[in-house]
């Protein structure tokens, strides 16, 4: 159950970030676009880190490895 919820939260985080570039084309006001963008950024960050917390250290290591980041935080 924890892993399922963790992966679901990672998917929600990705969807939040993908939705941001779409906002200017929806025909809403600039102020509303800025407000929604701020909400999506916060939602994306919170759900990403909560998902990682639920998945555990091994999942975090896999994500870092997928992006080529070593244990010292530098790209390999």
Q: Is the pLDDT of residue 71 over 70?
A: no
Residues 12-53: tens digit of each pLDDT: 999 999 999 999 999 999 999 999 999 999 999 999 999 999
So what's the pLDDT on residue 72?
64
Question: Residues 3-9: contacts with CB within 8 Å, 24+ apart?
Answer: 3/54, 3/55, 5/51, 5/54, 6/51, 6/52, 6/53, 6/54, 6/55, 6/59, 7/51, 7/55, 8/51, 9/47, 9/48, 9/50, 9/51, 9/54
Every domain of the chain and the residues it spans: 2-66
Q: Is the pLDDT of residue 11 over 90?
A: yes
pTM of the model: 0.75
So what's the pLDDT on residue 2?
85
So what's the pLDDT on residue 69?
74
């Amino acid at each position: 159950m924890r892993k399922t919820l963790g992966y679901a939260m990672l998917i929600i985080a990705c969807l939040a970030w993908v939705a941001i570039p779409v906002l200017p084309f929806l025909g809403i006001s600039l102020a509303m676009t800025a407000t929604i963008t701020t909400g999506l950024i916060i939602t994306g960050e919170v759900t990403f880190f909560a998902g990682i917390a639920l998945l555990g250290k091994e999942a975090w290591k896999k994500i870092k490895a997928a992006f080529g980041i070593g244990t010292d935080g530098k790209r390999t």
